[in-house]
Amino acid sequence: MEFLNETIRFNFDASLQDLLQSFKKKITYWRSNSYISEIDHDMSYFNNKLWIQNTAISLLSMTLQYGFRCFYDQILFLRFLNEIDISQYFLTDFPDIRTFLKIAEYIYEKRYEITFDLSVISNKTKYFNTINSYINDLSKRELYEEALDLAQIANVPGDFIIFKQLESQFENTQSRSEGFWKKWNQIFEKHNIAPDTIVEIYLKFIQRIKDKNEIFTILKLAFNWTNKYKLEDNYDVEKELWLSYFQLDDNSGKLDQLISNDVFTSFPEYSKELEIIPECYNVLNEMEMENFEKAIEYTLNNGDIITALRLERIFGCTSTDLNILKLCLNLVEGAVLPYQLTARQRLLLNRRNNVKGSANIRRKNYITPNRISSCASVASMTSSTLQLCLNDNVVTPSHDTLELLEMLGDNLKSGNSLASKIFKTYRISVNLQTKYKTILECKQPIDMLRKALEDNCRNKLEVVGDFIDIFRLRKEEIVDLLYTEIATAIAQYSVSKMNICFLWDLNLDLDFNLILQLLPDNCSLLGFKLYYGCNNEFTTGNMITVTEMLIRCHDCFTADCNMEGISMVLKKCKSFASMLEGMQDYNLMVRLLTGIARYTEMTYIFHTLKQQEQFELLLRKGSRKDGGLKIALLEYLRKYCPDDVELYKIVALHFFLFSEIAELWEEEALKYTRRIIALAKLEMQNYRLNPDTEPYVLLVNTEDNKKVLRKVLVSLFFQLFEFENVKFILFLDYG
């Protein structure tokens, strides 16, 4: 009582807690709680814990209601009780002062004309009845937001408030758009309305609506709830949703809202799940059946086989394309073996002639036709040499399965992307010698791919391409993977004695373009990464690695026609070539020149090799096949070394340029011929003969003339020829 008397005088000092602590200490020593009759003649209840505490709580509630002159003073008292946490001084259930304070503050802040009886704090039943009466009063005044706020503060269910508000807006809104129902759906979610209650509300409103588009919108929202929480009426709502879609006069754009993003990891297991959906037969009219077929085609083309399978089960209708895809899934999972096809399944293979515009599911071929690669396609392997264990009991020939998948894919009108994904996923499982399901369940594809490459899996280029297509790897991930693989291959090549750098069994000089096909229109990203990696390699002093990385990054920029990148590489090559010249590493200079193959821009390397008498390095084994080098050498010699006939001959002979050699010999023979004729005419004048009137040119049998004529004969392969219509006869005495 002393505590209450002090608070009535607005003494809200923390020192009052000493009184409460003394109260708690006293009741601790009183007798245990027991039942107390309404009439106790012995007055024994004065020492009973339960009665004392309940009486104290009642006195507190009466003080709160009648001990203060205004509502604000009552709130101050509640704040003090909350601050000192008065419940800690009682050993029995104590009213929730904090919640009661929030309610009082909310009512005071909103200035509601409500007489709030604070004495109900000591009685739970009266408390909830009072709160509900306030909420009902606010609802009648159409203050729904305020009623909801009060219900939320008091931890009272607010479902009926929301329903009243929805009912009111529904009646007062003549044209309800999709946004109207979406807004209410968000309100339901915000206030944690039970999903089954929400669905029940939606279905009741549908019975009062005639607009087909509005019905579709409501059913779509209802299905989202039933599907998310797997409610009992999920299949019925789903069926009604699709029927409403089929009945729409204009359903354009609606089907995208029904596409499912769900996936399954085992088709046989998912088929068993579908069996619990009740089937309905002959429920679709002609227009609805036409829309059903379009929906199946659309979902398959969008890669959503789950929705197509559910439609097939719900309405008891199917399509040939869906049956083909189901057979593909059964084949790759081993549920059906290639030699166990039923007659109906074999008919799916004979559909080819009736398909218009069918798309082949094979991935683009990375193997050039003129190259024999050590990485042969899995489809070319014999079934006796390659088998895949799909589960614990079944072993299937992968070659036969791949062939069937290709044939089935060719027969599809829709769902080609799905068939391609199935085919490539299965092909990965064959190349990695693992289960199809393992690939399908993969959550970290880039890690699995790196591990497969480290383990030297089959057909690496094919595997990488399939991983990129199936898992939609980001270009940054692809660039990082390719950079790591290329850098590793070059590092291994730099310390080996091999003349060719290999990556994934591919010759990088010949087949690097196949690797760049993995990055269409994004090769420059790899080029820049290689370029900056090349800069880092300068610090290690590994000139072979630097050379190869410069060549490869140039290939990347060339593939994208990135002139800025090409210019950057050429500038780096010039400074690098100067460094190689200082190190007298002319072999790497030649490798840099022929690898970049920008001969016009890199003429300085020709100059260096010529000056250092290392020009013959350009004519090493294998360079004969380089047509660009051949043309560049001939142009260089003609432009910068026109008098070096011997070097020109060496180059021409190396590249089997017989016509160019013949021209040189003919030019040389003509030069000697002109020289000897000029000398002969001078000799004829000494003998008083007019060389212009004589039909022949007479040569004096001298040693000088013999030497010149021998050179002419050697050059012309000892053949007689006519020069400027002047014939001459040779009288040579070789004795």
Residue 364: its pLDDT value, please? Answer: 47
Instruction: Give the tokens for residue 245.
Output: 């879609």
The answer to whether 64 and 80 are in contact (CB under 8 A) is no
Q: Which residues contact 213 (CB under 8 A, 6 or more apart)?
A: 178, 248
User: Is 242 within 8 Å of 216 (Cβ atoms)?
Assistant: no
d(C-alpha 698, C-alpha 18), whole Å: 149
Does residue 12 contact residue 78 with C-beta atoms inside 8 Å?
no
At 125, list the tokens.
């039943």
In angstroms, the CA 181 to CA 220 distance is 10
- Which pLDDT does position 722 carry in this prediction? 35
Q: Which single residue is written with the structure tokens 């070096």? A: 644
Q: Which token pair is 3?
A: 């505590």
CB 383 within 8 A of CB 397: yes
* C-beta of residue 54 within 8 angstroms of C-beta of residue 91: no
Spell out the SS3 assignment of 298-321. Answer: HHHHCCCHHHHHHHHHHHCCCCHH
Spans in the chain with pLDDT lower than 50: 41-42, 353-360, 362-396, 717-735
Q: Is the dihedral of CA 65, 68, 70, 73 positive or negative?
A: negative
- Cα dihedral 108→109→110→115 (10° resolution): 0
Structural domain spans, the chain: 1-35+42-156, 319-353+397-473, 661-731
DSSP state of 208: T
Count of residues in the chain = 735
pLDDT value for 48: 66
pLDDT (0 to 100) of residue 484: 93
Exposed e or buried b per residue across 395-404, where buried means at least 16 C-beta atoms within 10 angstroms of its C-beta: ebbbbebbeb
Q: Which residues contact 598 (CB under 8 A, 6 or more apart)?
A: 554, 566, 570
DSSP 3-state assignment of 104? Answer: helix
What pLDDT score was predicted for residue 209?
Answer: 87
